[in-house]
Chain A
Amino acid sequence: MMVGRPLVELDNVTVAYRAGDRQHVAVTDVNLEVSRGAFVSVVGPTGCGKSTVLNVVAGLLAPTSGGVRIDGTSLWGRNTRAGYLFQQDTLLPWKTVLENVCLGLELAGVDRAERREQARDWLSRVGLSGFEDAHPHQLSGGMRKRTAVAQVCVCGPEILLMDEPFSALDAQTRQLMENELLTLWTEAGTTVLFVTHDLDEAVSLSDEIVLFSAGPASTVARRYEVDLPRPRDLMRIRTARRFGELYEAVWSDLRKEVMKAHGRRDTVGHG
């Protein structure tokens, strides 16, 4: 991993919404740096504002106070150096697989022959050659997710933001996709910010895990370095002793936050 100026920096980021006549603080005073080329996972109990942080880095959501710097420059508007892989299906249903993958390049004004070639290349990398002319509703969930990966990656983003991208997939497909993601990440050297509620996934993929405290007004509770050796074989890594230790360490803290989140919700429920 390269050491130097962090690629992504969050400086005391606070995001508050107005919900009716009440002020709802989603996250408060979040400070976070992500080094170039690192794979960083964000975990935390439900409703802790993980996705909010991702949206702020994407530039889709402006922080109420604080700021984001990308490569030292303050972020204003959409983060043009980032690609975003959402939890939901985001393929355009009226476009074919190939047209969907071409979209980012088309928007950037790349000419037709060039963008088709690159899109085909990415489709073969995610194992979808031969499905160019299918429409998304004809594909399985895993295939749609692969197409989405190709759609985002073909634009060559420096930063890849992922919001529980595999949570809707079944366990086997999910593990395959995680493996493929690691391979792609190793090849491309992209910086990844990965939101997940699955600790297993976080430990096996990341260089670093960031734990968020229970919401509302959640913030970075703790950070853990994951010193498992790379390259990693995801099919075996879960049985390694160090994996178990790391998992235990994060889980003991995460459990406390989860209990807190539950407690608060119960109090609100009874009150």
Chain B
Amino acid sequence: MAVATRSVTADQADAPRRRLGARGTITAARVLVALVVVGGWELAARLTVLDPFFFSQPSDVARLLREWLVSGEILDDLVVTVGEAFGALLIGTILGLITGFLLARSPFLDAVFAPYVKLLNAVPRVVLAPIFLLWFGLGEASKVAFGVSLVFFVVFFNTYQGVREVDRVLVDSVRMLGANERQLARHVLVPSALAWIFSGLRVSIGFAIVGAVVGEYLGASRGVGYVIAQAQGVFDTTGVFAGIVLLSVVVGLIDVVVHRLERHLLRWKPERTQGFQPS
């Protein structure tokens, strides 16, 4: 027992110290990369190595962004876009969870529906956008529908996998402790699938935004995608870049919040190493 306790504390004490030393260097290198890319772009545009008409330049993009934020006009569009994405995320996640759970737990439903799910997933989603525009109109509903068609499959496949990959012996063990099917789902299947569902959720958020923006781009009267499309229509590259930067920042912020939440909910897991999430 003493050995185990010692090894745990030793691991915990050593790891952060090692990481802390590296962290400073990593942060410095990250800032450097940003400076080189943004600075290089600015410089190239000023020296007209890059044509500012097609490539704009960071200082102009920053100026326009500030204008937008100060006047507040972009906030209405942002609220519309984020609202559409949130709707798509909510509906797509709920549908994906339910379908994933049902198909993973019922061999019959799985056998019947699996080929159709695969078939639908194989449809390039962009070709659905015109149909959704016809069905749901130019308003927000068509963007939500488009987002759902993207989000659903990510959540579905992750839930399906998560529920199926549950250790057989865990299920047997909890059954022997007296669990019925509902209790089994609550105590074993859902928590075990949670890690998968969350890694899917973070990808889904990106997809939900994609759904909203592409939908707006193809036909809308409001939203960040609409703003970008308008800017592109008048060859305003600065406007296009400003829209892109704005979206990246918003998605990045949302991702940080979700990651925090995930870390809290999955705190029982041993710490993972940093890096790209498989998706």
Contact = CB atoms under 8 A, between A and B. Distances in A.
A84 B173 contact: yes
B177 A58 contact: no
Chain B binding surface, main DSSP class = helix
B250 to A, nearest CB: 31
A108 B3 CA distance: 36
Tell which of A80, A92, A139 has the most Cβ of chain B within 10 Å: A92
Contacts of A95: 187, 268
Contacts of A104: 177-178
Given A92-B188, A95-B268, A107 B1 contact: no
Tell which of B8, B175, B176, B270 has the most Cβ of chain A within 10 Å: B176
Contacts of A137: 268-270
Interface in B221-279: 266-270
Tell which of B4, B8, B167, B178 has the most Cβ of chain A within 10 Å: B178
A14 B177 CA distance: 26
A86 B191 contact: no
A93 B187 CA distance: 11
Given A90-B169, A107-B183, A84 B176 contact: yes
Interface string B169-207: 110111111110001000110011010000000000000
Interface in A122-166: 127, 135-140, 142-143, 151-152, 155
A60 B1 contact: no
B172 A86 contact: yes
A135 B268 CA distance: 6
Contact of A143 (B4, B167, B174, B178): B4
Tell which of A93, A107, A143, A155 has the most Cβ of chain B within 10 Å: A107
A83 interface: yes
Contacts of B183: 107
Given A94-B268, A95-B268, A137-B270, A107 B170 contact: no
Contacts of B191: 92, 94
Categorize the interface residue count of chain B: 20 to 34
A140 B191 CA distance: 23
Interface in A88-109: 88, 90, 92-95, 103-104, 107-108
A53 interface: no
Given A92-B187, A94-B191, A95-B268, A107 B172 contact: no
A82 interface: yes
Nearest to B188: A92
B268 A151 contact: no
Interface string A69-92: 000000000101011101010101
Contacts of B179: 107
Interface string B140-176: 0000000000000000000000000001011011111
Contacts of A84: 172-173, 176
A103 B268 contact: no
A107 B174 CA distance: 9
A108 B178 contact: yes
Nearest to B12: A138
Nearest to A140: B4
A84 B187 CA distance: 18
Contact of A86 (B169, B187, B266, B268): B169
Nearest to A87: B169
Interface in A45-85: 58, 60, 78, 80, 82-84
Contacts of A135: 267-268
Given A92-B188, A93-B269, A94-B268, A83 B176 contact: yes
9 contacts: A78-B175, A78-B176, A83-B176, A90-B172, A92-B187, A107-B178, A137-B270, A142-B1, A152-B177
Given A78-B175, A92-B170, A139-B4, 7 more contacts: A82-B176, A95-B187, A107-B187, A135-B268, A136-B268, A137-B270, A142-B1
Shortest 10 CB-CB contacts between residues of A and residues of B: A140-B4, A90-B173, A104-B177, A84-B176, A94-B268, A107-B178, A94-B191, A135-B268, A88-B169, A137-B270
